Amino acid sequence: MMPNPPELASGASAEAARDVAREAAFDARIAAGESIEPKDWMPERYRKQLIRMMSQHAHSEVVGMLPEGNWITRAPSLRRKMSLIAKVQDEGGHGLYIYCGTETLGVDRHDLVEQLLNGTAKYSSIFNYPTLSWADMGVIGWLVDGAAIVNQTILAKTSYGPYARAMIRICKEENFHKRQGYEIVATLAKGTPAQRAMVQDSVNRFWWPSLMMFGPSDTNSPNSGELRRWKVKRKTNDELRQRFVNLTIPQVQAVGLTVPDPDLAYNATTEDWEFGAIDWAEFNEVVRGNGPCNRERIAARRAAHDNGQWVRAAATAHAEKQAQNKTEAA
């Protein structure tokens, strides 16, 4: 029997009322500081925003292996080579771990990887810059992993449980990355004039892109308000950027280097290191796919994906065979 229109309308409005009640309960849980778990009800938009953020994060870890992987064969000693290999491997692990976390939101990793490879998903803009010298391995560990730690320490308190727990584990490894990077920087900074020049040049190239890692300014960050309300983000991009600068400038001074910012000044009242204007036009170009290495990075990921096809085919065949064996045994 076809329901008549009034019945339809009342059914729809009852469903809408249920959604309002569910959303109110969800907001109350967020306000109480509870963490949201995969099987809990959540607004569709919350789920979508988390999938976007977490998959971008996972992609960044994986693409982030490329600029440093480039230097493994050229590390200056066995010790440096071992720690660089371990770091790059850690980043791959972070990517896989966060892909798993994203899958708890009901998406398939295959689709996420597809989005990265076809250019519809974003990843951190910093990895589209080239690594031109050995000093870049130190500066990336120090500044890039350092910026990631500032971001991820706050994300460890994010409202979505699987993401928060992933961050706690990942931050422990990021701290090692930062330390090994800073040790490389400190060694070069007290080395020969050529080594000093090499590490200063690297800081000059990576300083501003590191500040851009925190994303657009608060006045121009479309997703920020909603993400803060849901306690997905607990600090704004500008707050995190300022915290990074405040933490990093004393480290720059400790090794006798400088940052390429003539406007940098300490404000004794706010206790902040105030910095000059960020070149957002450059940031937007890199995000749009026109940075120095965007095409190279995606080409490398596509090649890696194609080269791994036989592994995926073998794993699928093995799983099918096992399933078949189980059916036959039953």
**Between 36 and 213, whose beta carbon lies closer to Fe ion?**
213
The H or E element spanning position 107 is none
Least gap, CB of 14 to Fe ion (angstroms)? 46
**Between 42 and 63, whose beta carbon lies closer to Fe ion?**
63
Quote the tokens at residue 226: 């909603």
**Between 89 and 220, whose beta carbon lies closer to Fe ion?**
89
Q: Which of helix, strand or coil describes residue 213?
A: coil
Asked if 260 contacts 249 with a C-beta cutoff of 8 angstroms, the reply is no
Least gap, CB of 145 to Fe ion (angstroms)? 4
**Between 177 and 241, whose beta carbon lies closer to Fe ion?**
177
Most distant pair of Cα atoms in the chain: their distance: 87
Asked if 179 contacts 193 with a C-beta cutoff of 8 angstroms, the reply is no
**Between 171 and 197, whose beta carbon lies closer to Fe ion?**
171
Q: Half-sphere exposure of 64 toward its Cβ, with a 13 Å CA cutoff?
A: 31
Amino acid identity, position 255: V
**Between 91 and 136, whose beta carbon lies closer to Fe ion?**
91
Phi-psi label, residue 119: left if phi above 0, alpha if psi -120 to 50, beta otherwise: left
Least gap, CB of 148 to Fe ion (angstroms)? 6
**Between 36 and 84, whose beta carbon lies closer to Fe ion?**
84
Least gap, CB of 131 to Fe ion (angstroms)? 14
How far apart CA 209 and CA 249 sit, in angstroms, is 16
Quote the tokens at residue 192: 């020969």
The H or E element spanning position 252 is helix 237-254
Strand ranges inside the chain, DSSP E: 265-267, 272-274
How far apart CA 227 and CA 65 sit, in angstroms, is 28
Least gap, CB of 138 to Fe ion (angstroms)? 13
Least gap, CB of 269 to Fe ion (angstroms)? 34
Q: Which residues are at the interface with Fe ion (CB under 5 A)?
A: 61, 91, 94, 145, 174, 177
Least gap, CB of 225 to Fe ion (angstroms)? 27
6-21 in b/e form (b: 16+ CB < 10 A) is eeeeeeeeeeeeeeee
